[in-house]
Amino acid sequence: MSDDAPEPLIHARGLVKRFGDFVAVDGIDLDVMPGEAFGFLGPNGAGKSSTMRMIGCVSPPSDGTLRILGLDPRTQGPRIRAKLGVVPQLDTLDLELTVRENLLIYGRYFGLPRSVARERGDQLLDFVQLLDRADDTVEPLSGGMKRRLTIARSLINEPQLLLLDEPTTGLDPQARHVVWDRLFRLKQQGVTLVLTTHYMDEAEQLCDRLVVMDKGRFAAQGSPRELIDRYSSRDVVELRFALGDNEVAAEKLAGLGDRVEVLPDRVLLYAPDGDGCLAEVHDRGLAPLSTLVRRSTLEDVFLRLTGRSLVD
Amino acid sequence: MTTLSQRPVLRSYTYWLTQYRRTWRGTVITSVVSPVMYLAAMGVGLGSLVEGGSGTDGLTYLQFVAPGLLVATAMQIGSFESTYPVLGSFKWVRNYHAAAATPLTPSAILAGHLLWMATRAAMASGIYLAVVAAFGALRSPLAIVALPVCVLVGLAFAAPITAFAGSRERDSGFAALQRFVIVPMFLFSGVFFNVSQLPTVIRPIAYITPLWHGVRLARDLTTGDLEPGAAWLIPVHVLYLAAFVVVGVAVARRVYRTKLAN
């Protein structure tokens, strides 16, 4: 590097992943700096997991440049993986072994001496609040506990970069908040986090910077705030009318706010000033059944960029 | 400097060792009880009806059948350990995928598992050999060399079957493998009677089975009857079995790379 900027932990240019004729990742450019929390958002099939697998050095890029921790995954895979922590989308815990045995085996995979793996393992179990279950088999643990164990396991080698593929998918709200809390602490300790999610609140909670992926490309990138400013308005006014009245109402709403969007069950008005906008709705003689003025969220950005139709 | 226990192969081997700590009692009991039953029923019981002759190389039936059963056990262990555990590691437990995210390479993951299969073959065959000795069916101290032969036979089955199992999406092929490959070999590859008793047209099929080569080697060693004229056959048997290991490992490496680094 010519200037004194720190080297990015992840550096990709024109990164492509193909499976036969199918292009999963279609030429993305990416730099993730040390200490950042970086998120990939996108619908299923957008290419998030393929990107994560390339970054995790278990899937060779089909084309383009990729450097992880300054090394080339094509030739230095084991060296890079030694410094990564990976929380895969599907848990790969051994259900028949105990919580502690799962950690010890993983530590052995990294070549840690047994005593080190044991000591670190217990510290990590404490960190994810599972120390009292250390000698229980994994099988009967709840989904949230298994997820926390997977996170503890991913930290056994004290990784520089932690990759989390949908860390809280399928967890109940309590379990999600515990996971978020632990990830937030890691972030404060300076661990670089890269995660995929399709929960907007998760992205807003954890990520300094994120990209919205769609069909293998980046549809947008920036901080959560920047994305909302760029792709949505400050406020959203949600109006519900009697069944079938939405279209009629929408005509009368024309010109209000920045944008009007008609959904099957409600009409959305995107406006810089939601309350003022709602007052004008009433001034125009409209009487919606219910109204809601709220701040724009990433979800609004996401749906605008990737559409509302289902991707299966 | 990496110490021996730091070698990637042994790191991946540790997983199987840890797994085995939960199940070892059952397998040890099986490994003792099974040879006692087979040797008592086949060697002693059925053997009392068999008159030693050319069909048994002039041995008592117990002396004849014991090395055959010994090697067949190594085959059974090798072919079992390389089916469900391999498919399960890819599909159900997904422990291979867990390991692939660490510095371990697909080749090291494979090698550690094969080393474990070899360990299992050695353990079961060692116990078997001890039981055969207790039945008084060993005639030569060379019998101890039958143990590495058993490991070789175990791997001659385990390596190709690992490649096969690794490339499967379901366990549906395993029953057929057992029924149409393993069991016929067990019955017709010289374990229970000399292959020379088979009709001439069928004999070549027995000769190309790896089990027959293993049985020939083991029987030479447990009886100590190494005919000078047939000494050249010993390296042939060993190389034939080794070829199965080498080809099996080569194909399995490709399968593991495709599955774990795609």
Quickly list DSSP for chain B.
---GGGSHHHHHHHHHHHHHTTTHHHHHHHHHHHHHHHIIIIIIIGGGGPPPSGGGTTS-HHHHHHHHHHHHHHHHHHHHHTSHHHHHHHHTS-HHHHHHTSS--HHHHHHHHHHHHHHHHHHHHHHHHHHHHHTT----GGGGGHHHHHHHHHHHHHHHHHHHHHT-SSSHHHHHHIIIIIHHHHHHSSSSS-GGGS-TTTHHHHHTSHHHHHHHHHHHHHH----GGGTTHHHHHHHHHHHHHHHHHHHHHHHHHHHH--
Same domain flag for A240 and A172: no
Q: Please write the tens of the pLDDT for every residue from A122-174.
A: 999 999 999 999 999 999 999 999 999 999 999 999 999 999 999 998 888 88
Q: Please write the tens of the pLDDT for every residue from B173-224.
A: 999 999 999 999 999 999 999 998 899 999 999 999 999 999 999 999 999 8
Same domain flag for A269 and A223: no
Q: What interface predicted TM-score (ipTM) does this complex get? A: 0.89
* pTM (predicted TM-score): 0.91
Same domain flag for A266 and A223: no
Give yes or no for A97 touching B (CB within 8 A): yes
- Contact check, Cβ <8 Å, A82/B260: no
Q: Tell me the backbone φ, ψ of residue A33, rounded to 5 degrees.
A: -95, 155
Q: Return the amino acid letter for A289.
A: L
* Structural domain boundaries enclosing A135: 10-228
- Contact check, Cβ <8 Å, A96/B22: yes
Q: Would you say residue A302 lies in a domain?
A: no
Number of CB pairs, chain A paired with chain B, less than 8 A apart: 70
Smallest CA–CA separation between B199 and chain A, in Å?
50
Smallest CA–CA separation between B218 and chain A, in Å?
37
Confidence of residue A243 (pLDDT cuts 50, 70, 90): confident
Q: Please write the tens of the pLDDT for every residue from B44-63.
A: 999 999 887 777 888 899 99
Smallest CA–CA separation between A197 and chain B, in Å?
20
Same domain flag for A159 and A286: no
- Contact check, Cβ <8 Å, B11/A111: yes
Q: From chain B, pick out residues whose CB is under 8 angstroms from the CB of A109.
A: 11-12, 15, 98-99, 102-104
- Contact check, Cβ <8 Å, B101/A108: no
Confidence of residue A310 (pLDDT cuts 50, 70, 90): low
Same domain flag for A42 and A175: yes
Same domain flag for A15 and A139: yes
Same domain flag for A87 and A193: yes
Q: Would you say residue A163 lies in a domain?
A: yes
Q: From chain A, pick out residues whose CB is under 8 angstroms from the CB of B100.
A: 58
Give yes or no for A110 touching B (CB within 8 A): yes
* Amino acid B1: pLDDT: 43
Q: Would you say residue A311 lies in a domain?
A: no
Smallest CA–CA separation between B214 and chain A, in Å?
35
Q: From chain B, pick out residues whose CB is under 8 angstroms from the CB of A81.
A: 101-103
The chain A residue lying nearest B4, using CA atoms, is A111
Q: Would you say residue A306 lies in a domain?
A: no
Same domain flag for A213 and A245: no
Q: Would you say residue A307 lies in a domain?
A: no
Same domain flag for A124 and A249: no
Domain of A182, CATH number, reads: 3.40.50.300
- Contact check, Cβ <8 Å, A111/B99: no
Domain of A260, CATH number, reads: 3.30.70
